[in-house]
Each structure stands twice: as C-alpha cells, then as structure tokens.
Amino acid sequence: MYTGADAQSAFLALRNQLGGGPGPKIISRKEWGAKSPILGGGRSYEKLSPNMKMFGAFDVPVGGVPIDLAKYYNTITVHHSGNGDNYMSIQELQEKEQNDGYADIPYHFAIDSKGNIYEGRPIDVKGSHVKGGNTGNIGIVLLSDLDTENKGLGYVNSIVESLRGNGGASTAMRQSLTDLVSHLNGKYGIQYLGGHKEKATDPRNCPGNGGMKIVEYLRNKLHMLSPKNEN
Ligand SMILES: [Zn+2]
C-alpha cells in the first residue's frame, strides 16, 4: 500500500520521465544585459559545482564533477518585489539588489507584468532569497506589489504603499509563473512550492496576499506540497 510519501515519490518519478521539453522562453542574462556579480565583502555567491569550469561557446564542462541539480533542488519559493512598484524592470531589480549588498539578483528567475521570464542568478549558483533557507531552494520573484493589505508595514508605510499602488498579478504574469514552475518541476522534480513567508518569518508578508493565492492555486494544480510539510 502506498503511503502519502511513496505516492508522492512515485508521482515525481513519473513526472520526471515525462518532463523536459523546451519549456517557456527564458530571457538570458546576456539578452537582458546583466551586469557581472559583485563578489567579496561578505556577499554570498556560492557556485554549486565549485570546481567546474566551462569551455567554449557551448559551455562544455571541463574539470570537476557537476552537481546533479535534480537531486539538489527540492523546493521553489515565490516572492514579490513589493514596495508599491508593479512595473520594476529586471535591470532595476539587479541595480537595487546590488545596492542593497547582494552579489547579484538573489533569485534564480524573475517574471514581469507582461509575462516575460528572466534569468536571475544562474541556476548553478545557490540562491540568496530566504534567510537561512536557501539550500535546495529555487527563488522566483514576481516583479509586482501583490500585497493589497499591507499588513506588518506600520501605519505610515502602509499609507505610502497604498498611495503608490499595488495590485493583483496580471494574467500574463500568472501564466508565465505556471509555465515556469511546471517546467522546473519536469526538469528537477521539485516537491515543495511555497511563498517566502511560509519559509521564514517575514514582516513584509512576501509575496503578499495576492501572491499567496497564486501559490496555493499552483500547489493544488501541480500536486505539490507546502514547505511546511518539509522535515
Ligand atoms: Zn520574499
């Protein structure tokens, strides 16, 4: 008889066999003109296969053993950019995060209101998006303010954010998140899907009440588990 965990792993194995395919269009760092990461000074930028070197135009790996990302990743965490800004560009995001002391964009992917999917930090670099919870965890940020309640901001800041505007995710943004999560599922066999605040205590209520609704919907649709079930 299958227990819940066995059924889940059988399902994952099947999904991995069926998975793959080209997936949604992801705009590469090169295509969107990413700046280089800023290293040193306590900025976290951990390569998951530290001895790997890439060679030539097709990035042929030489030396070192590449980490098996399908074994490494088991979780996807969804964030929003917040701060009353529904139209932040990927370039603005990188600028902001590097100014805030990050080596690079802390997330692996970003999705804008038009549904464009951008490569954030490379997938073979450990994320830096959940305090104390980045191992095995792919970060996706929705470039929008999805918190219409502004809980936990304090009175003045919540008034400021309401005036600047916040809203729900656009249809294109939702569709791209669905496509991206499905694709990552097929590719890496991801078991857990959560919003940032489910992985950590976050006074900013990331990814907002609107973002959490999408996460819950996707969890159901894609038969994934809450990170609260993780042990
Ligand atoms: Zn977050």
Range of 70's domain? 4-229
How many angstroms does the Cα of residue 54 sit away from the middle of ligand 1?
Answer: 31
Give tens-digit pLDDT for 45-93. Answer: 999 987 767 676 666 667 777 789 999 999 999 999 988 888 899 999 9
Distance 123 CA to ligand 1 centre (A): 18
Spatial contact of 207 and 78, defined as CB atoms under 8 Å apart: yes
Listed range (89-98, 132-141, 153-162, 172-181) with the worst mean pLDDT: 153-162
pLDDT, tens only, 182-204? 999 999 999 999 999 998 765 56
Neighbours of ion ligand 1 (CB under 5 A): 79, 196, 206
CA within 13 Å, CB half, 75: 24
How many separate domains does the chain show? 1
- The per-residue pLDDT for 22 is 78
Q: Could you tell me the distance, in angstroms and rounded to a whole number, from the CA of residue 150 to the centre of ligand 1?
A: 14
- Measured distance CA(69)–CA(71) in Å, rounded: 5
Alpha helix stretches (DSSP H) within the chain: 4-18, 29-32, 69-72, 90-99, 155-164, 171-188, 196-199, 208-221
- Secondary structure of residue 178 in the 3-state scheme: helix
Task: State pLDDT tens for residues 173-185.
Answer: 999 999 999 999 9
**Range in 71-85, 96-110, 201-215 the model is least confident about:** 201-215
How remote is the CA of residue 155 from the centroid of ligand 1, in Å?
A: 21
Task: State the distance from the centre of ligand 1 to the C-alpha of 79, rounded, in angstroms.
Answer: 4
Radius of gyration of the chain (CA): 18
CB 106 within 8 A of CB 206: no
| CB distance 146 to 168 below 8 Å | yes
User: What spacing in Å lies between the alpha carbon of 11 and ligand 1's midpoint?
Assistant: 29
Token match 């669905």: residue? 178
pLDDT at 97 over 90: yes
User: Other CB atoms closer than 10 Å to residue 117's CB: what's the count?
Assistant: 22
- Region 163-182: what's the mean pLDDT? 90
CATH number, domain with residue 167: 3.40.80.10
Query: What spacing in Å lies between the alpha carbon of 52 and ligand 1's midpoint?
Result: 30
Q: What's the pTM?
A: 0.84
Q: How far is CA 225 from CA 110, 196, 230, in A?
A: 22, 14, 8
C-alpha of residue 160 to centroid of ligand 1, in Å: 20
